[in-house]
Amino acid sequence: MKTTIIITLIMLFANYGDSQNFKAPIEGEYGKDFIIVNYIDWGTNQITDFYKGTKTYAGHRGTDFTLSGFPQMDKGVFVNAIDTGVVTFVQDGEYDRNTDGNTSLGLGNYIAIRHPNKLYSYYGHLKKNSLLVKIGDKVSPGQHIASVGSSGNSKDPHLHFELWYDSLYLVEPFAASCGADNSYWEESIPYDTVFHVWESGLTDFIPSINDLKNRPVAKVKFNEQDSIITFWALQYGIKEGDSTKIEWLTPNGSLWFEYSYTYQKDWWYYYYNSYILAPSSDIWGKWKYNYYYNNKLVVSGDFEVEKPSGIYEAETPSYYRIIDNENIEVFLPQNIIANTVKVYNISEQEIIQKDIRSQNSFALNIPNSKNNPEVFFVSIKHKNGYWNFKIVL
């Protein structure tokens, strides 16, 4: 029995290890149009991809060619037949914007093709209504057969590709120690573990991961109406123990805030985001951000924090009165119709928010346990803009 299996396997690789010249199952260029996030798991006790690496997860039976997000999927990325063959099965009509893995949904929309030499290819998670072939159709190498989607058990738009011999053996199309003797691909597709930031940007709210998958509105100018400035990045090639750091610099170059994060595991596809509260004091102008991977600068950019219009400088103490080191009273000019007041500490953390509609004066209790003088920023939102001032208590 054992001998039979060994002979069969030797025959398998003897027949199919050297002679394939398959087209890539996805249109485009590695690292630009797609990346590979997961390979086949060949491990028994622990995960192992064909390269003896960890670009896989337990029990994964195919290769995941992954897009940069839903906007790219919406533009359309073709899935191509790897070789001549006949379509043996198609499934269409499944919802194609799934963002959480649900194993019961399987491959979602998919296509199966029988090729010469008893090889079968499977193309899963396809975009709904994008299928260009039907059962019985003959296909040629590289022919467009559908578009990449996120149907079925899928968290991000990607193509799950499987290759089988005679519906019995899962075939590894990549060449390396655990894979085929030679690559099955006409053009080699790199085995890539290097860290990359694929895309990044700024926006004005705290995005959820699904907001990031769909891309938040890009912003480079912020004003007093914005309460949040977020930096986000789609990155891949993170190894356990790696760290990233975001640094926010004021227009005069001084460090406003920094945040470091150390990763506890390998991440082959990861959405990062970190935010600051939009500066509400008088630090207007061109700000800068730097993003580091293992202390090496990988992304930097700048953005504008605009001086608000209609601001009333509270230079004169007549607009507020300090009662003691925790209490002040604020008097609003008669022409101001105010809505809310917010108080921020020196770290830009909001410590008070209060409704002050239809009030001409109001008291604020500002917790200030320190003996040293402490700086606070008071921001009053009114009908025509904001009235900001700094106080020392």
Write out the residues near Zn ion by the rule CB under 5 A. 62, 64, 160
CB of 123 to Zn ion, least distance (A): 11
Cα 71 to the center of its chain, rounded Å: 12
Q: Nearest 5 degrees, angle CA 261-CA 266-CA 268?
A: 105
CB of 174 to Zn ion, least distance (A): 14
CB of 153 to Zn ion, least distance (A): 8
Closest residue to Zn ion in the complex (CB): 160
CB closer to Zn ion, 185 vs 231: 185
CB of 32 to Zn ion, least distance (A): 21
CB closer to Zn ion, 268 vs 289: 268
Contacts of 75 (CB under 8 A, 6+ apart): none
CB of 152 to Zn ion, least distance (A): 10
Q: How many CB atoms lie within 10 A of CB 69?
A: 19
Place of tokens 């159709």: 137
CB closer to Zn ion, 25 vs 62: 62
CB of 122 to Zn ion, least distance (A): 10
What are the φ and ψ backbone dihedral angles of 6, each rounded to 5 degrees? -60, -45
CB of 393 to Zn ion, least distance (A): 58
CB closer to Zn ion, 122 vs 319: 122
CB closer to Zn ion, 61 vs 134: 61
CB closer to Zn ion, 41 vs 64: 64
The two tokens of residue 332 are 């609003």
Cβ-contact 266, 318 below 8 angstroms: no
CB closer to Zn ion, 64 vs 96: 64
CB closer to Zn ion, 39 vs 185: 39
CB of 208 to Zn ion, least distance (A): 23
CB of 58 to Zn ion, least distance (A): 12
Q: Cα separation of 217 and 229, whole Å?
A: 12
Q: Cα separation of 121 and 115, whole Å?
A: 8
Q: Tell me the one-letter amino acid at 296.
A: K
CB closer to Zn ion, 25 vs 279: 25
CB of 352 to Zn ion, least distance (A): 50
CB closer to Zn ion, 37 vs 175: 37
